[in-house]
Amino acid sequence: MQKQIVRRTYESALADSLQHLHPLLRRVYAARKVQSHQELERELEHLHPAQSLMGIDKAVELLTTAVKTNKKILIVGDFDADGATSTAVAVRALRSFGASQVQFLVPNRFAYGYGLTPELVAAARDFAPDVLITVDNGIANHAGVEAAKALGICVIITDHHLPAATLPAADAIVNPNQHGDMFPSKNLAGVGVIFYVMLALRRQLMNENWFQQKGLPEPNMSRLLDLVALGTVADLVQLDHNNRILVHQGLRRIRAGQCIPGIIALLELADRDFSRVVAADLGFAVAARLNAAGRLDDMSLGIACLLCDDAAEVRALARTLNQLNEERKSIEHDMQTQALAALNKLNANLRGELPKGICLFDSSWHQGVIGILAARIKDKFHRPVIVFAKGQENELKGSARSVPGFHIRDALALIDARYPKLIQKFGGHAMAAGLTIDKQSLADFMQIFDEIVSSQITEAELQHFLMSDGELATEDFNLEVASLLRDAGPWGQAFPEPMFDDSFRILEQRIVGDKHLKLRLAKEDKVLDAMAFFVDTNNWPDHRCDKLRAVYRLDVNEYKGRRNVQLIIEYMESEGKPV
């Protein structure tokens, strides 16, 4: 699908507090609606205080008693990277507080499904917990909470997903998105929520002289920020000011080598230098390998990697995660080939017009990989996508991904309200959601989903726009500017990394690594190295083409001790033909 390149707009008049910045950086920040230098502060003292989180006082009260009386505490996580890091933060923090009976349980997605289900509570009985803490889940698990309460278990929910009209009957709930919560940032990931709870718990234990009484060192909570950064980036939450502080501080610790061994091991397997890591590396290199455990096997393996401090054991765990990720890639490739063939057939049947809301199902597809497939199809065709796989008995499990402007979780809620028996359960965010339906309902659901999308989405929202920060001046193609942009983040969701667009002459072009295009480009008298990853080798290299228009990132390439500027091409057109 060809993309439309649109240049970001920004106010030319900037606040005085930003005038000292490099002109290019001022332009980039202005296009991201930064109004003052305060919004760029990245030190921990600028974090929002924990006290404004609804329910946190009650949660801390219960946990203080649990720690001081050495209760059995069970952490119930989720099977994605946010859930894994949330679990690791809770376990590491509580153990450092002196709690000696802390264990974790994460549902296998194929056996239990998502969250604190009654079936998972039955499995939790083997741990005989006094206190159960959910991390990155629980806000929609009414039946599971009831089952735990019936067993006499104290339940504390920490979550960030959108709640339904009613809340579970837990002993305490901490979720910035629950109604009436005054916490300024609604974009905390699950790992951010549990980090705040542990921060508040440590403060309370310090106030009660707990660490001094027990002869314990006062825990340094910044040691958990590498995990917080990883989970925040992995869950694709918006990087508002508060989240940027959390991610920046975590990255700073990783770059200094002051992080858990598991993150270092996974970065090394991905050929990333931990001393130069950026937010995108956490998502593509570390989180992808962690998520492979939850997609294909059991996220307990990923959590074990995050909790282990033995170097040899960590490397072995990381290698297993890496092998699972390679297997995931192979499965995904086959599924994507099948999905594109099905869409080509559908496109032909509909005479060139795909549905506004795409639903896909194949009985052979792997339930753990449908989320990635939905994201790939969404990226290619730029419309809301739901991909289904077989669940238990006659169930179908669906994973949904959306485009900016269309709230996928709200769309599912609307379908559920209009057709109460069509969806068995659902939950999620604006851009991603999960659901379960009966297999017999698939055809009806596909039609209704397309109708809902068609009635709510605009033609403009179906256009695939690539946002650019404009042209770079020739003098800005240098290491100083490239390093400045790299360090000016962290970049991510709702605070996108700067991309620029321009036309270049092609001096050289060749394929490297089977599917990547290496180029030498020229703008005026400036000669530049460039890379375009995962190109269509049926179209490139194209030696009949001597000019292209590209949307690119300015990067620093390091090879054998040498550093040079390199363009990372995100999109390019030759004679109107997109890559």
- CATH code of 400's domain: 3.10.310.30
Of 88, 321, 40, residue with least CA distance to 225: 88
The last residue of a domain, from among 462, 477, 498: 462
Rounded Cα–Cα distance for residues 191 and 432 (Å) = 18
382's tokens: 């730029």
Rounded Cα–Cα distance for residues 221 and 212 (Å) = 17
- The answer to whether 163 and 176 have CB atoms below 8 angstroms apart is no
Strand 73-76 vs strand 131-135: parallel, antiparallel, or unpaired? parallel
Sign of CA dihedral 458, 30, 191, 201: negative
Question: Do 243 and 385 have their domain in common?
Answer: no
List the domain range (segments joined by +) for residue 381.
354-462
Determine, yes or no, domain membership for 341: no
- The answer to whether 325 and 289 have CB atoms below 8 angstroms apart is yes
239's tokens: 């990087």
Question: Do 72 and 172 have their domain in common?
Answer: yes
Determine, yes or no, domain membership for 335: no
Question: Do 451 and 507 have their domain in common?
Answer: no
Question: Do 392 and 273 have their domain in common?
Answer: no
- Report the pLDDT value the prediction gives residue 502, as an integer from 0 to 100: 96
- CATH number at 477 reads 2.40.50.460
Question: Do 64 and 19 have their domain in common?
Answer: no
Determine, yes or no, domain membership for 215: yes
Rounded Cα–Cα distance for residues 303 and 111 (Å) = 18
Question: Do 478 and 573 have their domain in common?
Answer: yes
* Phi/psi at 363 (5° precision): -65, -15
- Report the pLDDT value the prediction gives residue 12, as an integer from 0 to 100: 63
- Report the pLDDT value the prediction gives residue 427, as an integer from 0 to 100: 84
Determine, yes or no, domain membership for 43: no
What type of residue sits at position 17? Answer: S
- Report the pLDDT value the prediction gives residue 212, as an integer from 0 to 100: 96
Determine, yes or no, domain membership for 538: yes
111's tokens: 């056996």
**DSSP states of 395-426 as a string?**
EEEEEEE--TT--HHHHHHHHHHHSTTTEEEE
Of 189, 253, 264, 186, residue with least CA distance to 221: 253
Q: For residue 573, list its beta bridge partners.
A: 549, 578
User: Using omega within 30 degrees of 0 as the cis cutoff, is the peptide bond preceding 541 cis?
Assistant: yes
Question: Do 510 and 572 have their domain in common?
Answer: yes
- The answer to whether 520 and 569 have CB atoms below 8 angstroms apart is no
Rounded Cα–Cα distance for residues 196 and 242 (Å) = 12
Q: Is 405 helix (H, G, I), strand (E, B) or coil?
A: coil
CB-based burial label for 212 (10 Å; 0-12, 13-18, 19+): exposed
- The answer to whether 121 and 141 have CB atoms below 8 angstroms apart is no
- Report the pLDDT value the prediction gives residue 471, as an integer from 0 to 100: 96
574's tokens: 């030759």
Of 169, 139, 153, 160, residue with least CA distance to 62: 153
Question: Do 59 and 14 have their domain in common?
Answer: no
Question: Do 78 and 165 have their domain in common?
Answer: yes
What type of residue sits at position 209? Answer: N
17's tokens: 């507090």
Number of domains in the chain: 3
Question: Do 90 and 183 have their domain in common?
Answer: yes
Rounded Cα–Cα distance for residues 209 and 199 (Å) = 15
Determine, yes or no, domain membership for 41: no
Of 252, 202, 246, residue with least CA distance to 228: 246
**DSSP states of 229-276 as a string?**
HHHHHHTT----HHHHHHHHHHHHHHHTT-S-HHHHHHHHHTT--GGG
Question: Do 111 and 168 have their domain in common?
Answer: yes
Strand 423-428 vs strand 432-438: parallel, antiparallel, or unpaired? antiparallel
Determine, yes or no, domain membership for 39: no
Q: For residue 156, list its beta bridge partners.
A: 133, 172
Determine, yes or no, domain membership for 145: yes
- CATH number at 196 reads 3.90.1640.30
Question: Do 80 and 14 have their domain in common?
Answer: no
- Please state, as a whole number, how many other Cβ atoms lie within 10 Å of the Cβ of residue 35: 13
- The answer to whether 61 and 91 have CB atoms below 8 angstroms apart is no
CB-based burial label for 341 (10 Å; 0-12, 13-18, 19+): exposed
Sign of CA dihedral 229, 234, 235, 240: positive
Of 384, 345, 571, 326, residue with least CA distance to 468: 571
What does DSSP assign to residue 420?
T
What does DSSP assign to residue 443?
H
- Report the pLDDT value the prediction gives residue 14, as an integer from 0 to 100: 60
- Residues in contact with 452: Cβ distance below 8 Å, sequence separation at least 6, in sequence order: 357, 411, 414, 415
Measure Cα distances from 578 to 223, 343, 344 in Å: 45, 19, 18
- The answer to whether 154 and 131 have CB atoms below 8 angstroms apart is yes
Rounded Cα–Cα distance for residues 290 and 37 (Å) = 35
Altogether, the residues listed in the chain come to a count of 579
Q: How high is the mean pLDDT in each 10-residue block of the chain (579 residues)?
A: 85 69 92 91 96 97 98 96 97 98 90 86 96 96 97 97 92 97 96 98 98 96 98 95 98 97 97 95 96 93 97 97 97 96 86 89 96 95 96 93 93 96 89 94 97 94 93 95 95 96 96 93 95 91 91 90 92 68
